[in-house]
Amino acid sequence: MSATPAPSGKTPPLVRLTGITKRFGPVTVLRDARLEGRAGEVHILAGENGAGKSTLIKILAGIHTDFEGSIELDGCQVRPRSPLEASALGIAVIHQELSLIGPMSVADNIFLGRMPTRAGFVRQAEQNEAARHWVRQLELDLDVTQPAERFPVATRQLIEIAKALSQNARVIVMDEPTSALNAPEVNTLFTLIRALKQRGCCVIYITHKMEEIERIADRVTVLRDGQWVGTATAAELPPAKMIQWMVGRDLGEQFPRRAPHPGAERLRLENFSVFPSGFSARPAAENVSLSVRAGEVLGLGGLQGSGASELLLGVFGAYGGATRGRCLLENAPSRFTSPRQAIESGVGLLTNDRKATGLVLSESITANATLAGLRPLSPWGWRRPARERQAARATTGPMRLRAASLENEAGSLSGGNQQKVALAKWLQIRPRLLLLDEPTRGIDIAAKREIYQLVEQWTAEGIAILLITSEMPELLTLSDRVAVMHRGRVTAEFSREQANPESILEAAMGKISRA
């Protein structure tokens, strides 16, 4: 995979941030950071979580206005004081958290705040026509009068891009745009990004996925601990070197494969179906049969909508009794009807969205880490704060959690550290079976490696793990066996030796190859 040749060094920068320093109270999050984007290039902004990427972007987007340093756009000094000013200057930011208003129509969302009006009344037909134009540019086929919330996350992401295009933005910032997209959608997005380059836009792209960097990067800027480390063309910056820049140390190319620790059968599903929206609707997972042994990691592969997440939630009892089939935990029938039952039987579920369903962000790290296992820590219902702190230290300690104090709010931590707290919560219950749904989503490479090590350690202790991940290398590295799901059904199962990216992707796209 070769990167598009970088534009010549003589092209004047379209946007240049220099000497950016930003403090939040006593904490300096950016120190003399810089970033320079040229017209017609894809510029990757890389760095670990907490490196200051998001803050830098927020300064460019006019969200943080109180900073030192300067921003030049086309050689002119600018200082956007609000997102509206930034978009008037031609800077569009597609945030990680989507900013569409669910109940409003796609067209209304695209033209929010600048709708065509006559005497104060929105000219609906004109607006819809314009919206259709921009949506078609993305090769999207959708009804712009429908509420945005009706569409899947991937489509909503593309609607955001349509919105940016309609603003005639020249600098387009994308903050991990592919985190919710499946492979064909990613291809569409990349085609689009190439088209944007052709028009002379500068795309500033934040990602953790090495594969994406290889595919679209022209140049890369790396930040570490709020400071600029370096900028180089993609050709000059092989992955190993980039990782070294990001983490400040050489981590080696790839994580070694786990040693297998096979044990007795822990979980067995027989013709297990999950009905998240009631028995009358289509099941999200249908007649799934699989088994996981103690000390084993069963990887669940699949694209968006495969039903793997729903399968885990169904096993965990999160949909109440809306499941059918058999679920055996160490040969005992265990069709749980509430998460509480599952937890009492030693099953933990790490959800795929730590902010929405994983953590109580307003609570302390200790409170979160002990939430699932509070019962044994509070005899007769009375809490023992000292015991809780001790328990939280015991579970978070081996994870190298970076927090000033365990009494800090979980919301104040970076993504990787939040994920560690969410994992600590499940270790607290001494699980027999761990269901991990995207355990490394949105966290930096160093933290990922730490989580891989933890998985290794847990399986060595005999915990059975059912793992979902959308990252192929992770799936291949961590899994002892791989089951692939497509539209609610298991379409293939591979042993560790058989598994390879091509056959997994084939099965995930629906080709049935199960023996």
Partner 1 sequence: MKSSSSWKSALASPAGRAFLALALVLAAGCVFNADHAFFKIGTHRDTLRQTSVFGILACGMTLVVVSGGIDLAVGSLLALAAVCAAKMAIHWNWPAWEAVPATLAVGCACGALAGWVTASLRVQPFIATLSMMVLARGLAKYACGGMKVSTAVQNPDGSYRYVDVPPLFKAIDHRILGGNLSVVTVIFFVCVALAWLALARHRWGRYMFAIGGNEEAARLSGVPVVGAKICAYAASGLFAAVAGLCQAAQEQQGDPETGSGYELTAIAMVVIGGTSLMGGRGGMGLTLLGALTIGYLDKILSINAVPEAGRLVLTGIIIVAAVLTQRRGRT
Residues in touch with partner 1 (CB under 8 A): 316, 318, 338-340, 342-344, 349, 351, 356-363, 367, 371-372, 374-375, 378, 381-383, 425
Q: How far is the CB of 291 from partner 1 (least distance, A)?
A: 24
Closer Cβ to partner 1, 238 or 385, answer by number: 385
CB nearer to partner 1: give 61 or 347: 347
Contact between 327 and 287 under an 8 Å Cβ cutoff? The reply is: no
CB of 371 to partner 1, least distance (A): 5
Token pair of 506 as six digits? 């084939």
Nearest approach, Cβ of 454 to partner 1 (angstroms)? 19
47 vs 431, beta carbon nearer partner 1: 431
For residues 323 and 272, what is the distance between their CA atoms, to the nearest angstrom? Answer: 7
Considering beta carbons, is residue 78 or 367 the nearer one to partner 1?
A: 367
> Minimum distance from CB of 302 to partner 1 (Å)?
21
Choose between 135 and 367: whose C-beta lies nearer to partner 1. Answer: 367
CA distances from 462 to 345, 372, 425, 465, 507 (A): 16, 20, 18, 9, 29
State how far the Cα of 132 lies from the Cα of 145, in Å rounded to an integer.
10
Q: Say how far apart CA 435 and CA 309 lie, in whole Å.
A: 10
Least CB distance to partner 1 at residue 244 (A): 36
Question: Element (H or E) spanning 41, and its range?
Answer: strand 41-46
Residue 165: CB minimum distance to partner 1, A: 33
Q: How far is CA 385 from CA 58, 321, 374, 512, in A?
A: 38, 35, 11, 53
Judged by beta carbon, residue 63 or residue 371, the one nearer partner 1 is 371
The rounded distance, in Å, linking the Cα atoms of 379 and 213 is: 52
Which of 121, 382 has the CB closer to partner 1?
Answer: 382
Which residue type does 434 have? L
What span, in angstroms and rounded, lies between the C-alpha atoms of 413 and 246? 19
Q: How far is the CB of 375 from partner 1 (least distance, A)?
A: 7
Two structure tokens written together for 511: 């080709």
| Residues 304, 154 contacting (CB under 8 angstroms) | yes
